[in-house]
Amino acid sequence: MSVYTPVSAEELAAWLIRYALGAVRVFEPIAAGIENTNYFLTAEKGRYVLTLYERLPPEDLPFYLNLMAHLARAGVKVPAPEPDRTGALWSFLNGKPACLLARLEGVPVELPGVAHCAAVGRALGHLHVAATEYRGRLNNRRGPGWWRQAARAVRPFLTPEQNALIATELKYQAMFAKTKLPHAAIHGDLFCDNVLFSDGEVSGIIDFGFAATDALAYDLAITVNDWCLEPDDARSGSLDPGRVRAMVGAYDEVRPLTAEERELWGPLLRAAALRFWLSRLYDLHIPRPGELTHAHDPVSFERILKSRVAETPRFPDL
């Protein structure tokens, strides 16, 4: 959530005419993340996040906004889009598609424990159950086709060992290309900084910029790879069995995983690790200009992928 597109007070005021929010009290940039431009906005009517979508084509935006609106109506704790006076959920601001999202209470946890992992697994399960009723469809723009493209783009910046690891993993993942697993809308990026907690409970799931139609178990694998690392040896990239059981078990109670999803648990964890290693390599070596930009360190996901390859995890005993 870096600032790539600055918005002045005058530009904001002109854009907000289409809303009935009252006077603006706070307007400040959010200097975190890497994908879109975001500002905190507090007005008389409430607190919001103003998001300007930097990469998403306007024709894809309804998928994201209608998904969040659908999930919010289903009781999932996600930021609901604020409609303007005409009912529209987005419009252009400084040449970029922009929207207002409700700002949720709570803060992320930096060092999640077993209870946090269980709460997130349960919340993700409810999100996926609600998502199966969502009719919108959108191909994952960070799927296998993008993995191959990104691998070619970052190749000149990597060591022979790193390039060999990526090439080997791409061949491994290609063996599962035709596998049919339950699909629906997924979050696609449910890391620790995208979940808010209040009084020990999940109070919000935010940042749907990588949402897409994809395998639900893959979304769970993405989440496990970030939340369930060994707390005392995070540099190894290995998983903590207790945290994994807590998250996957809580998820499975809400949306029982199929036999095929359980069988492919190891490859899904490896796919999730590869996707985020490539993404971070790409953002580091091929950055975009922006006022307040951050590129996540790719080293952590290189370790995670190496760990998953060295010992492909089996589905936990629940």
How many CA atoms lie less than 13 Å away from 306 in the CB half-sphere? 13
- Give which of 186, 160, 180 is closest to 275, Cα–Cα: 186
pLDDT reported for residue 173: 97
Domains of the chain, start order: 9-102 (3.30.200.20), 114-310 (3.90.1200.10)
pLDDT reported for residue 189: 96
CA-CA distance, 162 to 174, in Å (whole number)? 18
Is residue 86 packed enough to be buried (19+ CB in 10 Å), middle (13-18) or exposed (0-12)? exposed
pLDDT reported for residue 318: 83
| Per-residue tens of pLDDT for the chain, all 318 residues | 467 889 999 999 999 999 999 999 999 998 765 678 999 999 999 999 999 998 888 999 999 999 999 999 999 999 999 999 999 999 999 999 999 999 999 999 989 999 999 999 999 999 999 999 999 999 999 999 999 999 999 999 999 999 999 999 999 999 998 899 999 999 999 999 999 999 999 999 999 989 999 999 999 999 999 999 998 765 789 999 999 999 999 999 999 999 999 999 999 999 999 999 999 999 999 886 654 455 678 999 999 999 999 988 999 998
CA-CA distance, 77 to 71, in Å (whole number)? 8
pLDDT reported for residue 291: 46
pLDDT reported for residue 294: 58
b/e map of 27-63 (b: 16 or more CB within 10 Å)?
bebbeebbbbbbbebbbeeeebbbbbbbebeeebbeb
pLDDT reported for residue 196: 97
User: Residue 114 has which token pair?
Assistant: 């077993």
